[in-house]
Amino acid sequence: MHTSGYTHRTARTLTGLVGLAATGILLTGCATAESPEATRPLTGGTLTYASGDAEPTCLDPHVGGNYPQALVSTQYLESLVSRNADGEIIPWLADSWTESADGLAWDFTLAAGVSFTDGTPLDAAAVQANIAHIQDPETASSTGYLALGKVTGTDAVSTNVVRLTLSEPDSALLESLSQPWLAIESPTALARSQDENCASPVGTGPFQVEKWVQQESITLVRNEKYNSPPADAAHTGPAYLDSIVWRFIPDSASRYAALQSGDADVIDNAQPDTIVQAEKSDTIVHLDAPRPGASNRIELNSGRAPFNDPLVREAFIRSANVDDAVTSLFRGTAERSYSALSSVEPLAVSGPDLFAYDPEAASDLLDSAGWTERDSNGYRVKDGERLTVDFPVSTNQSIPAEQSLFEQIQATAKKTGFEVLLSPMDLSSWYTALGENDYDAVSAPYTKVGPDVLRILFHSDGITPAPSGYFANHAQVNDPAIDALLTQAGQVTDADERAALYADAQNQVLAGFYILPLFDQQNQYLLGTDVVGARALPTVSTPTFYDAWLK
């Protein structure tokens, strides 16, 4: 495969709406015609972004690798490649790339004349240092580490050409390298202590970290020497904005109030009720950017009782009235999913018949599984043990509407005889519960470009923790047939064969009742109409403000 010389530039901006519906990035709200002079970009100003996601504990996305890190690091770190609105891999810090005939080596030619904001040049040695940093157990990477699972070494072919060698062909390598968790950082900065690098990572991006006041905000300032935009950017040269203040406001009502008052220009994690309000406003624009990779889903721990019994897994799924809950709670801002993959993934397989609410069938399944008795509270009992489902909930990652959905599932499952114990937890406690296998069901968002996320989530290798202690196969699927399909799909380059293998794997996961799909992972941004040119990056749908300016 060879890609180079991509020069056609397009931007999905607040003033350019053509094609957005086709890409799954939807903008809604009122707009008025303006003169060319009124829409000419202005330089200067500070944009205030209010985030409802958990504040990162480290601003370096190599460490751990969660979505809050991706949100902010998109502003100051850049990847070797990106994706355009059509899902095609396009150049970024790498101008071009070639794959060897056997698929075991990839050469990346780096853009010339690019430097990190500390003055260190971007070269092959810098990329080597980044791969080594992600793969170093001391870094405690999870998302980046898992994405580079097949990379066994690197070589500097020349100053500006780096070679990645692989243990086996990787059809998802370019998709993986487009993600912010594998962004390229200054090797000089990486040589500092982890605490220093977590506080102020150094990249090539349009902004750089000036200061971080924990539990309050991060201040980013323009990189005046910036010269490395992705191939689909709307302009070249430095960003228009002077700075970005990245505030942390956990309460959704407070975030929306800040947007309405002008104290914030952009907010994320918009709730269904505020989205409905915003769409009636002529001063707020709604940016809907579903994440790629996996759908939001409940994973049933098949590695221990009670969900090691497929009859009990199916009974739980049949007892969950998800359709009505999504309709009532999300007010049209989310659609029910019946797939392991996000709707933005072209290879997603949907199985609505497998996930219909059917309490009678659920009751029959529990009878067949031996859960025939009920205690005084109406819960099923077998051999003196109550049918209990321990369900830890990350309050940092599940918005209030989703937490209410879990409560409705808890209520409908009780009618069948399940005792669902919902345990709200902060992010750290939630990770601990998962790492200690102290759960029966969990909703764990996972974002990865492309269908290779299926390998991360459902291959038995995913039960083994990454150096961070995190493992992604929370359903603990351990099926040699599924393993074989996912392994083969990760190696083949023929598009039709790859699609067929992923379809087979998805069908087996869905038919095994390992997961209960809910809806797409939601990225709902609200922007004041004074913000022009902001967009969601077509990789993992994080906002990018390189092309943004303030009226």
Q: What is the pLDDT of residue 6?
A: 32
Ranges of each domain in the chain: 2-289+523-550, 296-519
Helix axis angle for 400-416 and 359-368, nearest 10°, is 60
Whether residue 306 has a cis bond before it, omega within 30° of 0: yes
Q: 422 — phi, psi (to 5°)?
A: -85, 125
Check: CB of residue 151 under 8 Å from CB of residue 145: no
- In sequence order, the β-bridge partners of residue 161 are 109, 158
Secondary structure of 285-343 as H, E, C letters: EEEECCCCCECEEEEECCCCCCCCCHHHHHHHHHCCCHHHHHHHHHCCCCCECCECECC
Q: What is the pLDDT of residue 19?
A: 30
CA distance 51 to 510: 34
Distances (CA, A) of 465 to 336, 396, 470, 474: 31, 22, 5, 11
Q: What is the pLDDT of residue 547?
A: 98
CA distance 392 to 438: 9
In 3-state terms, the chain is what percent helix, strand and coil (to 5)?
A: 30, 25, 50
Quick check: helix, strand or coil at residue 538? coil
The CATH number of domain 2-289+523-550, selected from 3.40.190.10, 2.40.440.10, 3.40.50.10190, 1.20.1050.10: 3.40.190.10
Q: 344 — phi, psi (to 5°)?
A: -80, -5
CA distance 97 to 106: 7
The residue ranges of the chain whose pLDDT is under 50 are 1-36
CATH node for 296-519: 3.10.105.10
Q: What is the pLDDT of residue 398?
A: 87
Element (H, E) at 365: helix 359-368
Provide the whole-model pTM.
0.89
| CA-CA-CA-CA torsion sign (476, 444, 289, 90) | negative
Tokens at 409, concatenated: 């599932």
User: Which residue has tokens 């030619």?
Assistant: 109
CA distance 322 to 518: 7
Q: What is the pLDDT of residue 4?
A: 34
Quick check: helix, strand or coil at residue 130? helix
The per-residue pLDDT for range 333-359, each reduced to its tens digit, is 999 999 999 999 999 999 999 999 999
CA distance 302 to 320: 18
| CA-CA-CA-CA torsion sign (475, 448, 60, 109) | positive
Distant-in-sequence contacts of 213-219, Cβ < 8 A, 24+ apart = 214/55, 215/55, 215/248, 216/247, 216/248, 217/245, 217/246, 217/247, 217/248, 218/59, 218/72, 218/245, 218/246, 219/243, 219/244, 219/245, 219/246
CA distance 254 to 181: 29
The per-residue pLDDT for range 90-100, each reduced to its tens digit, is 999 999 999 99
Say how many residues make up the chain. 551
Distances (CA, A) of 474 to 61, 481, 515: 22, 18, 10
Check: CB of residue 348 under 8 Å from CB of residue 341: yes
Distances (CA, A) of 458 to 208, 310, 432, 468, 471: 37, 16, 21, 19, 11
Q: How distant is the alpha carbon of residue 528 from its chain centre? A: 24
